[in-house]
């Protein structure tokens, strides 16, 4: 589950989860976020890259839930007061905003991919961690009290608690164990000569130097070589970047953030494997000693 409102609205008009496999019903739990909710009867749900989607075989519209990190009702009110214009969507908030002590409710109207649409959204606070934004979108002419009722049921089913944190593996541990180290991934492949005697090799090397000072250097490159009876060839490319690094705990997971000096940032999900190895986004990196200038 992600936190971006606009991206998730875009997702709503792009998917049909009823064609997907492993649809869920009933209670859904995300202990790493401290979030639990119940899928209404007659509806089916599936986790997507940008949130959690629900759809019905009998009712129009699609529901999306995403986590939010807003901590005050004023912050929610401000977020729900903005126009949304992005990715083929143009939505304007209606005047009838409802503000309570722990949630904000608002309607939006506009267009999505050229179609007139209406959106109802609830933004719910969690004083102990992550909140939830729940929304339903449908064509304007299809919107009815049924859609209001469905979203209200989902909103009322929310149980927001303190996220569960894996105390045995966190950002502080990664900073202590990986700071001042070189992380290196290397992969080499070779294809022996087949018909015509053509053979080739391919190698990928990625190095992230995490200097103890908090700065990093990134080196990435790939080399391809091809040999045959009549030709020899080689092509290669390298790149190196630098900036500052940090480890963060997010929803029970640890992420390595690389903040480049050009203003860009990239992050990796960090895990330790059963083999004791270090993995970034499920790719094995070897831990080496490092001396930074």
Gap between the Cα atoms of 32 and 9, Å rounded: 23
Q: Is the model's pLDDT at 234 over the cut of 50?
A: no
Residue in 34, 57, 33 with CA at minimum distance from that of residue 45: 57
What pLDDT, on the 0 to 100 scale, is given for residue 190?
47
pLDDT at 161 over 50: yes
Query: Between vectors from CA 187 to CA 181 and to CA 192, what angle results, nearest 5°?
Result: 160
Q: For the segment 172-187, what is each residue's pLDDT rounded down to a tens digit?
A: 989 999 999 999 988 7
CA angle, 67 then 80 then 104, to 5°? 75
pLDDT digits (tens, 9 = 90+) for 184-216: 988 765 444 444 443 444 567 889 999 999 999
Phi, psi of 113 (to 5 degrees): 55, 40
Token representation of residue 198? 């053509």
Could you give the CA distance from residue 254 to residue 269 in angstroms, rounded to a whole number? Answer: 6
Give the span between the Cα atoms of 108 and 163, in whole angstroms.
Answer: 31
Predicted local distance difference test score (pLDDT) of residue 17: 57
pLDDT (tens digit per residue) in 33-59: 888 999 999 999 887 756 788 988 888
């Amino acid at each position: 589950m992600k936190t971006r409102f606009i991206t998730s609205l875009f997702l709503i008009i792009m998917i049909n989860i009823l064609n997907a496999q492993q649809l869920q019903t009933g209670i859904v739990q995300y202990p790493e976020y401290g979030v639990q909710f119940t899928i209404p009867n007659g509806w089916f749900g599936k986790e997507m890259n940008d949130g959690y989607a629900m759809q019905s075989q009998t009712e129009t519209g699609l529901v999306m839930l995403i986590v939010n990190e807003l901590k005050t009702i004023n912050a929610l009110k401000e977020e729900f007061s903005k126009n949304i214009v992005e990715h083929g969507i143009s939505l304007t908030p209606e005047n009838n905003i409802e503000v309570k002590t722990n949630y904000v409710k608002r309607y939006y109207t506009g267009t999505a991919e050229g179609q007139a649409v209406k959106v109802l959204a609830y933004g719910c606070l969690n004083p102990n961690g992550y909140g939830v934004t729940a929304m339903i979108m449908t064509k304007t002419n299809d919107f009815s009290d049924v859609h209001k009722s469905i979203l209200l049921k989902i909103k009322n089913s929310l149980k927001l608690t303190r996220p569960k944190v894996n105390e045995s593996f966190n950002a502080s541990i990664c900073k202590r164990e990986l700071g001042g180290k070189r992380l290196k991934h290397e992969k080499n492949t070779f294809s022996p000569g087949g018909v015509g005697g053509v053979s080739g090799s391919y190698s990928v090397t990625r190095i992230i130097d995490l200097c103890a000072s908090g700065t990093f250097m990134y080196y990435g490159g790939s080399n391809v070589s091809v040999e045959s009876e009549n030709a020899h060839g080689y092509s290669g490319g390298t790149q190196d970047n630098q900036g500052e690094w940090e480890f963060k705990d997010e929803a029970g997971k640890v992420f390595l953030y690389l903040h480049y000096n050009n203003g860009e940032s990239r992050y990796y999900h960090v895990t330790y494997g059963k083999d004791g190895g270090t993995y970034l986004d499920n790719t094995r990196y070897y831990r080496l000693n490092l001396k930074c200038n």
